[in-house]
Amino acid sequence: MRALLALAALALAAPAAAEVAPGTTPGSATGLTGAYDRGNAFARILAGRLPATRVYEDKQVLAFMNIHPLSTGDLLVIPKGHYRNLMDIPPPVLDHLMRVTQRLAKAEARALHPDGIFIRQNSGEAAGQTVFHFHMHVTPQWKTVPLAQTSYKQPPADPRELAAIATKIRSAMR
């Protein structure tokens, strides 16, 4: 009986698999290794086949508003190269992407006045990655406002609201 209870406790403690983003090619790799899926949402944004509220762009990276934000101002920073996760991205690209991430976090702090900023990167479905193109989340947080529980089943955020927030962040970039 103790063994059964211990197994049940382990099952409850194990993280649930991430919700894979719509449009992910069926059967594509979702773990730490595998081929890059050129049908993923971020690849389609880079190719101009999906819209995005852009905040920053240069030759190597693109930053845009998260359409399923965890908080006001939640944005994503992606490389323009096709890298699935942290295991794939070349160090020079990662270095540049991190500098841009820091610059965007500072702009969010000036524009939105959060109490903190949550920076995260998930590699592999088991770690919560839902779009299999390397990306960083830059998420403002306020002490009195819990992060949203989002799902791809929910409608995306209002594009006009995202555009207004993006304008504030862009204007705060120095």
Distance between CA atoms of 126 and 3, rounded to whole angstroms?
25
Going by the DSSP 8-state scheme, the letter that residue 31 receives in this structure is S
Phi, psi values for residue 52, rounded to 5°: -155, 145
Phi, psi values for residue 158, rounded to 5°: -65, 120
Phi, psi values for residue 167, rounded to 5°: -60, -45
Catalytic residue selected from 68, 96, 113, 135: 135
135 is annotated as an active-site residue = yes
Structure tokens, 94: 């990662």
Q: What residues are annotated to the active site?
A: 135
